[in-house]
Copies of this chain bind each other. A is one copy, B any other.
């Protein structure tokens, strides 16, 4: 299998200053795999759902080429549920409620095809579960990992262990500062790369994303949108576009990682245009190409130095 993603599959209640949506399908693995599906057909997800999860969404995911053999159904139980409320600036939010439900019993046992995954995406989840998946995938050519401050507060040793084993860590700016105990993102990046990953991606929401290796840095903006309806899942969608593009192209050079960042940013911009995963179910290749061209135009300049 080309790509395997472990992460949550969930229901979300979302409230923004401009609207709300209840019990929409969300979860890291859902957003990641849907975004990646525009670049990779041969992918599967590792997650767990209750019998409240809608068959219709599973059908639509399969239609997009996502293998659901790794999606365990636990009868008589409820799917993971998250409820959150965005502040006016939409770059910060409060979690109102988290019900783990089936998630507390997730104990992945990957089938042989999944174990031969070439690309592995460790979506935000208990690092103990991320480690179990990492242990089972035999020889991935690239491992990308997301996490969040909750695991830094509550499972730092296990988290550091997983971080030491991945190629690319993709987290947000406040998490990078917390993990490294450095205020400067430049210093934070270098401290985190000392922990193991060859690359760090710093996601800054509406303020774009940074890519670091030990020698270079690249910045991609977020697309300025007329309207941000719902930023939920934008970071996961970014990760899905990012690893999907890398898996499709098979090129892990810094220059190709830059392209993957742009692709991830383009996919994330679509995610924000509607509530939940809706936009990721309906994209046309022409829309993606056009959005990527808009990113080219957004940052393109040629400099002619003039001096006093």
Chain A residues within CB distance 8 Å of chain B? 17-18, 37-41, 65, 88, 90, 183-187, 204, 207-208, 210, 216-221, 224-228, 245, 248-249, 255, 258-259, 261-262, 285, 289, 292, 295-299, 301-308
What would 10 more interface pairs be, CB under 8 Å, given A40-B308, A219-B221? A184-B226, A184-B228, A186-B224, A186-B225, A208-B208, A210-B224, A219-B298, A248-B308, A262-B303, A292-B305
Assess the B306–A248 pair: CB atoms within 8 A.
Answer: yes
Do the beta carbons of A296 and B307 come within 8 Å of each other?
no
In the assembled complex, the CB of A175 is this many whole angstroms from the nearest CB of chain B, namely 14
> Can you list 11 A-B contacts with CB-CB less than 8 angstroms, sorted by A residue number?
A38-B307, A39-B306, A184-B227, A186-B225, A186-B226, A187-B226, A207-B208, A218-B299, A219-B224, A245-B306, A259-B302
Taking CB atoms, residues of chain B closer than 8 Å to A41 are: 308
User: Contact at B299–A249, with CB atoms within 8 Å?
Assistant: no
Query: CB distance B285 to A307 under 8 Å?
Result: yes
Min distance, Cβ A288 to any Cβ of chain B, angstroms: 8
In whole Å, how far is A231's beta carbon from the nearest beta carbon of chain B? 13
